[in-house]
Structure 1
């Protein structure tokens, strides 16, 4: 026997406004229930579903679907720009959306203006209305901290990825032990440098990314301990932009003719390798982050010596599990170290 709602003419079928009127709630509330969004009390949700079945808007089968636990709504906020690793991370998230199963979390990914604390704070507040959980690439800034505290207090779960908010330990973090990463980079440059003494330089996206400042601190600490003969010529902030990194590198070559090593703690290493090729300075040891097509090519061709990489799939898996299951983050992610000879 066919359900009455399947045989009724279109004009006779109930509308959301009919359900709202009968249930004594707003149209917006009915819309939230029908689209399985957050923000509705359980008693109200059950009342709306009951009326929807009585009026024939939902079949019994459909009603059973709504009785099941609602998949969580998850938002991922990433910095926009030309950083190839972050674009790769965004591609991975889009692929997950396309192949998601009905019981998987509803996943959305947005790119926010890089290094703009106000834009990130506004995005956190704006998406908290829909999202049960938000994973975001944090900027260490008072505006972002205040927004995170507000969103967390309102019941939306948060997790930082890649770079965290160190002053808010109640927000879990998924990423590397960045101080250890920086120390490893310093150790490799100290061991691989072609000259026993000389200058070394760091290029970062911004010190407002805690990940970058921690890598810098680790790098400086091991040079002081083990390689005092290497002189650090300072940190350049390239904002993960290939053009800025290119100009900074040219300036470094002019400032420090004895340059023996460069560590790019951020992204967009292509600008650095371009400057190295133009100045014929491929003897300079260069270490950067993110296994992407441009860094792979640079290592194969000898313009880059080492790539530090964190698997984007593992990063996303850990973040989604943390938000969906409220599972604690037990330890930092492992990172892979690639040379030309062991590229996957």
Structure 2
């Protein structure tokens, strides 16, 4: 019997067939930026011709292709969202064909403003990425955009009853349960009260965190009562005032869970009251202010989701590499395991 030695095509074979350098082939095959759309297509087609890739892989990589991706993020004093917007804008400046990325702030917690922004920016964009507000008009405009062939991606807070293309973010119900589990273990008093602080129930993410927290406290720590939620609209001054009132009215307060952002207002109230060592404080979003409060012992734990992971997953959806929802890892930080800045 004759045995044929069939050698698998290598990168130099693809480079020769496409008329490009091996470095360019490496960038294309490993999905690195910096390659023009026309060159990308030529390299992939050459890879098929020499037998390195299957035809199906060529079609998957080349389509669907979207050129314009817009992020719409709530405006306010929430340091996490400010940092996410800054990261997106920094990455947008580095975006190359076939993607052009931009980012805009919109009025927080206002469904009408969100609807207007979705229509305004969605008209010119191929992909719209935004934090969803729970409202029928938001659901309607999502249906309009997807009906027009746009890809709509919700991040951080979802609207699963809409026709959105994908959701990118953590499991918020699980995040609330996680906070309750740790807080219940930390609060060793035989009885006491826990306070919930929310930005707004307009965001499903905050409702889900609240529901998860309440469910587990009731299941596992019935000796701890729950107050709230107090809505602070992700505003540090509102959170400060609300926390001052909580501390004044409830001397038996042993824990605070902030399901939203702008935790620095809560930390300020705890510090001024002198009860920062008596009240367990947990929240969301690893930012310069929450990092500092963890180090100082004012906060006990922070749950966060990486802006880089959110952006990366959103771009994968926009590029057609991921067609369904993409879970982002829930990262948990204490003072002892903070990552480098």
RMSD over aligned CA atoms reads: 1.7
**1:76 touches 1:110 (CA, 8 Å); kept in 2?**
yes
Residue 82 (structure 2) pairs with residue 87 (structure 1): yes
For the pair 1:121 / 2:112, whether they are aligned, the reply is no
Give the whole-Å Cα distance in 1 for the aligned partners of 2:322 and 2:296.
42
Could you say what secondary structure the match of 2:327 adopts? Answer: coil
Match of 2:307 among 301, 307, 312: 312
CA deviations over 1:272-311 (Å, ceiling 9, x no partner): 0000001111120000111111000001001000011111
Counterpart of 2:43 in structure 1 is none
Compute the displacement of 1:131 (Å): 0.4
Residue of structure 2 in register with 1:335 after alignment: 330
Give the equivalent residue in structure 2 for 1:285: 280
2:234 — aligned with what?
A: 240
User: Against the structure 1 CA distance between its residues 70 and 228, is the aligned structure 2 distance closer, same or farther, given a 3 Å change threshold?
Assistant: closer
Aligned-pair CA distance for 1:319: 1.2
- How far, CA to CA, are the matches of 1:194 and 1:243 in structure 2? 30
Local SS of the residue matching 2:197? strand
Q: Secondary structure at the match of 1:325?
A: coil
Change (3 A) 1:190 1:171: same
- Distance in 1 between residues matched to 2:226 and 2:260, nearest whole Å: 17
Partner of 1:267 in structure 2? Answer: 261
* CA offset digits 1:18-71 (Å, max 9, x no partner): xxxxxxxxxxxxxxxxxx9xxxxxxxxxxxxxxxxxxxxxxxxxxxxxxx9975
Q: CA deviation at 1:171?
A: 3.2
Rounded to whole Å, the distance in 2 between the matches of 1:227 and 1:241 is 30
Quote the Cα distance in structure 2 between the aligned partners of 1:94 and 1:205: 24
The corresponding residue for 2:316 is 321
Asked which structure has the greater CA Rg, the reply is: 1
Match of 2:27 in 1: none
Q: How big is the shift at 1:116?
A: 0.6
Which residue in 2 is equivalent to 1:12?
none
- Which residue of 2 is the match for residue 108 of structure 1? 102
Report SS of the residue matched to 1:216.
helix
- Flag the 1:227–1:265 CA change in 2: closer, same or farther, 3 A: same
Q: In the alignment, is the contact (CA less than 8 A) between 1:176 and 1:332 conserved in 2?
A: yes
- Inter-partner Cα distance in structure 1 for 2:168 and 2:65: 25
> Aligned equivalents of 2:311 and 2:202: distance in 1?
22
CA contact (8 A) 1:196 1:229 kept: yes
Asked if the contact 1:200/1:261 (under 8 Å) is kept, the reply is yes
Paired residues, number = 277
CA distance in 2, matches of 1:306, 1:169: 35
Structure 1 residue ranges without an equivalent (≥5): 1-35, 37-67
Secondary structure of 1:100 counterpart: coil
| 1:163 corresponding residue in structure 2 | 157
2:194 corresponds to: 200
Contact 1:194 1:260 in 2 (8 A): no
1:128 shift after superposition: 1.8
Residue by residue over 1:212-271, the C-alpha shift from the partner in whole angstroms, topping out at 9 and shown as x without a partner, is 000000000000100000001120110000000001101111221100000000000000
Report how far residue 146 of structure 1 moved: 1.1
Verify the 8 A CA contact 1:174 1:329 in the aligned structure 2.
no
Say which SS state the counterpart of residue 287 (structure 1) adopts: strand
Structure 1, residues 294-341: CA drift from partner, whole Å, max 9, x if none? 000001001000011111000111012112216233552111110011
SS in 1 for 2:170: coil
Q: Does 1:133 align with 2:123?
A: no
Select between 214-223 and 103-112 the one with higher mean Cα deviation.
Answer: 103-112
Q: Give the Cα separation in 2 of the matches to 1:70 and 1:190.
A: 48
Judge conservation of contact 2:65–2:320 (CA < 8 Å) in 1. Answer: no
Number of the residue aligned with 2:67: 72
Tell me if the contact between 2:235 and 2:262 (Cα under 8 Å) persists in the aligned partners. Answer: yes
